[in-house]
Amino acid sequence: MSIATHDTPGAHSHDDHAHGGHHEIGFVRKYIFSTDHKVIGIQFLITTMLMLMVGGALALGVRWQLAFPWQWMPIAGDLEVFQQQGGIISPEFYTMLFTMHATVMIFLVIIPVLAGAFGNFLIPLQIGADDMAFPTLNMLSYWFMWPAIFCFGISFVIGGVTAGPAAGWTSYPVLSAIISAAPGSGPAQTFWLLAVTFVGVSSMMGSVNYMTTIINMRAPGMTLFRMPMTIWGMFITAILQAFALPVLTAAGFMVLFDRTMGTCFFVPAGLVVNNADPTIGGGQPLLWQHLFWFYSHPAVYIMLLPAMGMVSDILCTFARKPLFGYKPMVYSMSAIAGLGFIVWGHHMFTSGMNPALGMTFMVSTMMIALPSAVKTFNWIGTLWGGHLHFTTPMLNAIAFVSMFIVGGLSGIFMAAVPVDLYIHDTYFIVAHFHYVLFGATLFGVFGAIHFWFPKMFGRMMNDTVGKIHFVLTFIGFNGTFFTMHLLGVAGMPRRLADPYNYPYLEHLLPMNQFMTYSALLMGFAQFLLLGNFFYSMFWGPKCGRNPWHANGLEWDAPSPPPHGNFESIPIVYRGPYEYSSPETDKDYLPQTEYISPRPAPAPSTA
């Protein structure tokens, strides 16, 4: 059933050769302040996996309040800091919980795990380079995550549990721009904005590096259209980041100035906030929404495209088939990126911007569903007629496709402005973006972790534990999030500490309790992933270079690849998806394998 093969004696001698070329470096330079893209990638991966648990715990806090409002919190309720509020979740704390859940998951998990962890690890290996173009910059991009983690962390504890960043991850002014609007969260919100800036700097360093590396450092024969989809995903993501991120960084500084220096970029005149003196103002809160979503909508694709690429690789490998429609896949990814810049207004359909703009954004938003549809059809086409191997990475990749269909289709409801007038800011949208960001991206990431783990550590993860983790996560995920669509149709708004205040929502409590149990299941399942990951890192069975019989260049390097990756510069002869090719007896054909052309019949000399 599994096509994983273990150690072949030949693989070791190659490893030793590769090590021989480099002089030894100390522990600190090798594992902590390393400039090796693989170490940096693994650092990013482990950091983001731990952050995933933090973000998940915050989400469980939110779920607790929705299922058992104003009841004593298990575990955390006993802590000293919660004693003043009787061990329950106060409305202030609830606001912080969902703000920080989104913040941690977006800025410290999904963006860095895709671009930081897999981007770093895979780009040089898959294009046949020995490292990134700028290794030191690469190291800095990881270490700039830590000031961000520190600032987010301190913003969470600085004022006690009732005073944290409380303006949502979207941080709409005036709530985020005037300190008196959210009493107590003064320094916390400021640290939050600083942290977003640090994450931005980290991403930008990565983005510059990825673009340069992919453009300049491809191995001989690795033309653009021979690159694996993962590399296309990372490349387009890097471009998106480079163009969108400066807007967010600038806007973040503007709010920071509004908070600390009395500027009025986003604050109009004459507001009486919480009985403070009227504002002098002259600013416009809608400006923030435009700037924020000009980054944050492309950011949705930053959080998706690399996963789309990785899933394409995994599906081909375990279907033993070439990718269905390689070029349409590349073009549709580019179309998503291009259209991604002109759809940001769909987050603002109810904001009071000009309705003519709303109509324009509606059409562009509908159109962005098209390349996503094309990609989905091509993934199904890839599986069509394949010889499927249901390994853990494959199951997660199939789940990606299955969940992405739901996330894509539910997006159409929001793109339609009149329907959005009803479902905007309800749980329908919470369901939608969790189907995209968790159902698609995170399942893609789970698949990628299991798929490239052998390359990272030279050992296999346990397949049975991987499958149990997958099944539990899948069931817990759908139990939690599919039901959210129905809550949304029933009109339950998001971000309410106690929705049952409203008589028309009272009957939704049992449904919310079911969702919380599902979320708990999903949360506990992640310990299986962590356990499997760290156990296999040291005690998993050893594997050879190419345990999955895959085609990519990374499988040509030793597992784990030494500093410098390849023994000799690989030469690329074909695209990455030539599985089951009639040119060879095996059912795979690595990109580096040279096949001598069949001798042409000798011309007759009559």
Partner 1 sequence: MRKFWCLFFMFWPVLAIWLCWVSPANGWWFPSIAPWELGQQIDDLFYLLLIITTVVFIGTQFALGYVLWKGSDVKPGRAWFSHGSHNLEVIWTILPAIILLFISLYQMDVLARIRVMSKFPEQASRDPIAEVTARQFEWRIRYPAPGKKLLAQPQPDDLYTVNDLHVPVGQPVMIRLRSDDVQHSFGLPHLRLMQDAVPGLVIPVWFRSNAVGKFEIVCKELCGWGHYKMQGELTVELEEDYEAYLKALQEKMNDDGYPADAENAVAQSDEE
390 binds partner 1 (CB under 8 A): yes
Looking at 53-61, 71-79, 88-96, 107-115, which segment touches partner 1 (CB under 8 A)? 88-96
**Residue whose C-alpha is closest to residue 89's, from 102, 74, 72:** 72
Q: Which amino acid is at 148?
A: A
Residue type, 35: T
Q: Is position 55 an interface residue for partner 1 (rule: CB under 8 A)?
A: no
377 in contact with partner 1 (CB under 8 A): yes
- Rounded to the nearest 10 degrees, the angle between the axes of helix 229-260 and helix 326-340 is 10
| 25 versus 373: smaller Cβ distance to partner 1 | 373
Q: Does position 323 bind partner 1 by CB under 8 A? A: yes
| Residues from 204 through 243 that contact partner 1 (CB under 8 A) | none
Q: Is 366 one of the binding residues for partner 1 (CB under 8 A)?
A: yes
Among 234, 405, 448, 572, binds partner 1 (CB under 8 A): 405
Q: Which of residues 252-291 bind partner 1 (CB under 8 A)?
A: 267-269, 271-274, 281, 283-286
Shortest approach of partner 1 to residue 522 CB, angstroms?
15
Tokens 């890192």 — which residue? 537
160: contact with partner 1 by CB under 8 A: no
Residues of this chain, 504-523, that bind partner 1 according to CB under 8 A: 504, 507-508, 511
Provide, rounded to whole angstroms, the least separation between the CB of residue 45 and partner 1: 27
Q: 3-class SS at 403? A: helix
Q: What is the DSSP string of 546-570?
A: -TT---SGGGGS-SS--TTS-SS--
| Binds partner 1 (CB under 8 A): choice among 32, 81, 224, 421 | 421
User: Of how many residues is the chain composed?
Assistant: 606
The residue (of 504 and 534) whose beta carbon lies closer to partner 1 is 504
Among 412, 527, 534, 595, binds partner 1 (CB under 8 A): 412
Q: Which is nearer to partner 1, 582 or 601 (CB)?
A: 582
Q: Residue-wise over 537-555: b if at least 16 C-beta within 10 A, else e?
A: beebeebbbbbbbbbbbbb
- One residue of 38, 218, 424, 434 binding partner 1 per CB under 8 A: 424
**The only residue of 454, 499, 540, 547 in contact with partner 1, by rule CB under 8 A:** 499
Residue 324 sits in the site that holds partner 1 (CB under 8 A)? yes
Query: Binding residue for partner 1 (CB under 8 A) from 196, 244, 401, 448?
Result: 401
Compute the distance between CA of residue 581 and CA of residue 584 in angstroms, rounded to an integer: 6
Of 57 and 369, nearer to partner 1 (C-beta) is 369
Nearest residue to 557 (alpha-carbon basis) of 451, 446, 449, 456: 456
Residues 93-112, interacting with partner 1 (CB under 8 A): 95
Please give the DSSP secondary-structure letter assigned to residue 144: T
Please give the full DSSP string across 6-64, using - where no structure is assigned.
B--HHHHHHHHHHHHTS----HIIIIIS---HHHHHHHHHHHHHHHHHHHHHHHHHHHH
Position among 125, 302, 399, 460 found at the interface with partner 1 (CB under 8 A) = 399
Contact between residue 241 and residue 203 where contact means Cβ atoms under 8 Å apart: yes
Q: Which is nearer to partner 1, 336 or 415 (CB)?
A: 415
Q: Between 31 and 422, whose beta carbon lies closer to partner 1?
A: 422
Provide the minimum distance between the beta carbon of 485 and partner 1 in the complex, in angstroms, as a whole number: 8
Three-state SS for 453-504 is HHHHHCECCCHHHHHHHHHHHHHHHHHHHHHHHHHHHCCCECCCCCHHHCHH
**Scanning residues 472 to 491, which ones bind partner 1 (CB under 8 A)?**
474, 478, 482-483, 485-487, 489-491
- Total binding residues for partner 1 by CB under 8 A? 113
- Contacts of partner 1 in 161-190 (CB under 8 A): 166-168, 172-175, 178, 181-182
Quote the crossing angle between the two packed helices 186-216 and 145-157, to the nearest 10°: 160
Nearest-angstrom CA–CA distance, 113 and 447? 13
Q: Is 45 in the site for partner 1 (CB under 8 A)?
A: no
Q: Give the separation between CA 387 and CA 88, rounded to whole angstroms.
A: 53
Pick one of 118, 294, 301, 326: the residue that binds partner 1 (CB under 8 A).
326
